[in-house]
Amino acid sequence: MELEVYLKERRELVEAALEARLPSVDERPQTLHRAMRHSIFAGGKRLRPILCLAAAEACGAQPEAALDLGVALECLHTYTLIHDDLPCMDDDDFRRGHPTCHKVFGDGIAVLAGDALQALAFEICGEQNGGGVYAKELAVTSGSRHLVGGQVLDLEGESKRLTLEELRFVHLSKTAALLTTSVRFGGMAAGASEVQLEALTKFGQAAGLAFQVIDDILDVTQTSEKLGKSAGKDVDSEKSTYPALLGLDASRQEAHRLTQEALAALEIFGASGAALRALGNYLLERDY
């Protein structure tokens, strides 16, 4: 398939839906709404909502069936980025090639902008048919057993040498958890069967881990200009990463193995899973 065309078309769908959903900068409190929009519209590949749309298509629905849920996922993802970049967390001045939210608006407004985007994500989930199911799944993904808990483990892992199993658990809790919820939401919006949801879950977990392995590799092989954020942060903070534990070559092999595991999970979708398969390879081959 023409992946670049697909990505462009789906990104445009997501951008328009985000524009329609985010509060206007003219609405009070204007500073908060400017901060929310600053981070949402600072660029980004929109991979999580696009994965959500592709999963819906794999299960036989039109992408619009999962579009609102894709917007919710992007709001939640952006909230995590705003908070991750704070001085008390990963302390980064740039995200997606732009100054981070706290550098422009200050720490307090950045925290509140993230809080407001998280709340908006749940508001959107609650508006869907069967909204309680989506809200509950997003709450579990966001909470102490996944995103927030994973961030705690990430912070506690600084200046420590984690085992490979411990590192895998951190990334299953963070990156892989949100990617998995992204494809599950798409499947749920399309009325997926339990077998299809299980396949999407396996795909999301393996693809999410592969995504993180590649992120770790790019952190030590690419420039800040290419990444749109500070390169070498993991080395500076003495974090355990796949390259630190395995070396670059073995890390690339692990990313390839995980991607093959992810793609194998999509066999039950046949031709309708073409977009998800292409996205799985794209996550492996990206250079930023």
pLDDT in tens, 118-133: 999 999 999 999 889 9
pLDDT of residue 287: 78
What is the spatial distance between Cα 136 and Cα 153, in angstroms, rounded to a whole number?
23
pLDDT of residue 70: 98
- CATH superfamily of the 3-285 domain: Farnesyl Diphosphate Synthase (1.10.600.10)
- What tokens does 86 get? 């704070």
- How do residues 86-101 score in pLDDT, each as one tens digit? 999 989 999 988 999 9
**Contact call for residues 147 and 178 (beta carbons, < 8 A):** yes
List, in order, residues 6 or more apart from 240 with CB less than 8 Å away.
157, 160, 161, 162, 166, 167
pLDDT of residue 231: 58
Low-confidence ranges of the chain (pLDDT < 50): none
pLDDT of residue 16: 98
What is the spatial distance between Cα 213 and Cα 242, in angstroms, rounded to a whole number?
6
- For the chain, which residues make up each domain, given as ranges? 3-285
